[in-house]
Amino acid sequence: MDEVIATKDKGTEGIRYASLKKTRARAEEILEAAAVVFTVKGFDATSMNDIAKAVDLTKAGLYHYIRGKQDLLHAIMDFAMDAIEMQVLEPAGQIADPTERLKMTLYKHIHLFENYGTHVTILIDEMTALTPAHREHIIQRKRAYLDFVRNTLSELKAAGRMRDLDVTITSLNILSTIVGMARWYNTDGKMPLEYVSEQTIGWVLRGVLKDE
């Protein structure tokens, strides 16, 4: 995300805020559209031309925003991790009670699909197409998410509120559940996200917590 902005902003110091905001919104639009094309068509089979068409730009216009397909994929993943950080970890991190914090983490992650669809988050898994430096960067950000969940479970355990479960394995299983949801959940509205979220949180929490 910042990379896209950086490319666009090169040599435009003193840019007005309104313009920067517009550029940022346009960049997000491009990332979200590219995520859909990559997911549907596959990273390999997608050309910069396909992306340009999807966002109603010429190929040259698209290169104004981004250096190439690989950078675009990294920008999408970074954008998805930004969303997780700001819209999941940030609000959940403010909750003192670990049970409520875990609930909020799941709730907010699942509700990301409402704003971004499932495509953005599926692409976090497409690690092999990245350069080693980009891959390492995304791995670090994923690890921070895992640590957040693991710390929450450790608190529950220390407070005697968690069943006798391995904190690391359980954290990974919980993350697999919500990450996997991006692969099966259909945003066509037939299965309301609120219902899916309530069902999933209920199942996860009941598996983790001791009886009251």
**Near its own copies by CB under 8 A: residue from 2, 22, 25, 40:** 40
Give the integer Cα–Cα distance in Å for 15 and 139: 33
Q: Compute CA distances 36 → 53, 66, 100, 118, 188, whole Å.
A: 13, 17, 33, 9, 15
> To 5 degrees, how large is the angle CA 112–CA 116–CA 118?
80
Nearest-approach distance from CB 28 to its own copies, in angstroms: 23
Distances (CA, A) of 60 to 16, 48, 87, 125, 209: 24, 10, 33, 29, 55
Q: Return the residue of 101, 125, 149, 190 that touches its own copies, per CB under 8 A.
A: 125
Instruction: Indicate whether 49 belongs to the interface with its own copies (CB under 8 A).
Output: no
CB of 81 to its own copies, least distance (A): 16
Q: What's at 107, amino acid-wise?
A: Y
Considering only residues 161 through 200, tell me which ones interact with its own copies, judged by CB under 8 A: 163, 165-166, 169-170, 172-173, 175-177, 179-181, 183-184, 191, 195-196, 199-200
- Least separation in angstroms between residue 41's CB and its own copies is 6
Nearer to its own copies, 17 or 195 (CB): 195
Q: Both ends of the chain: CA-CA distance in Å? A: 44
Binding positions for its own copies, rule: CB under 8 A? 39-45, 125, 128-129, 163, 165-166, 169-170, 172-173, 175-177, 179-181, 183-184, 191, 195-196, 199-200, 202-204, 206-208, 211
